[in-house]
Structure 1
């Protein structure tokens, strides 16, 4: 006999609903820097694999701005493990990582150059500006 799963905590559900996937602070930092460098782009092209955050169509380049926790980065923020429902979160993050690898491979196979910028990298503006300029020129 299967037991019913426990209903989700309403407070936790409210927090998770508030998490955005587009127009995040790190994404806005990257967009602002790219724009100030003189590059123009399109946002969130659903027709491309992985739905890249910034798409530079004429240059055939895309940028993903990934949250460290959600995509399993190896920094301090991304490397932490949730205490509640740990098996769910480890599977969720592993799935996100696998999906990212698949999207990057599909984009590369289609002739696109891909850059991933992590949330933690948006804290230091000058190194990020140089990295963007190198990638886009």
Structure 2
């Protein structure tokens, strides 16, 4: 199957995808702030540059895009029909990096929480806040 747009258009579309400050990230950050939780954004001194870091709770939050991080069973995690080999390699590398980063953070005592972009809802954000607050504070 071929792509519905030409290579130049697809390249332009893909280059416009943000790596940080995405709509789901901003929603999560605003909710955490409204709940009185304070955080740092994407510090470069931690493996994987987590989207949100709550130093007081020694917790990091990744807001994963379903497509890029392959949310199991999610309709947004579809593999493009064109250039399948490229995409399968790309997704495999992303998943391996996710596992490596979570392992490195856990080894250094960080609790890692993940929120999927399709799950950014009040219910899921309430769960996130309760998970963070349940962590013993130093």
Judge same fold: TM > 0.5, yes or no. yes
Query: 1:133 aligns to what?
Result: 129
Aligned to 2:31: 33
Superposed counterparts of 1:1-137, under 5 Å? 9-74=7-72, 75-78=74-77, 80-122=78-120, 124-125=121-122, 127-137=123-133
**Quick check: 1:65–1:117 contact (8 Å CA) kept in 2?**
yes
How many residues in Structure 1 have an aligned counterpart in Structure 2?
Answer: 127
Distance 2:125 2:15 in 1: 32
Hey, which bits of structure 1, 4+ residues long, moved more than 4 A? Answer: none
* Alignment TM-score, normalising by the size of structure 2: 0.88
Q: Give the TM-score, by structure 1 length.
A: 0.89
Residue matched to 2:3:
none
Higher relative contact order (CA 8 A, sep 6+): 2
What is the rounded CA distance, in whole Å, between the counterparts of 2:13 and 2:125 in structure 1?
Answer: 32
Unaligned 5+ residue runs, structure 2? 1-5, 134-138
Deviation (angstroms), 1:128: 1.7
How well do the aligned residues superpose, as a CA RMSD in angstroms? 1.1
Q: Secondary structure at the match of 1:65?
A: strand
Higher relative helix content: 2
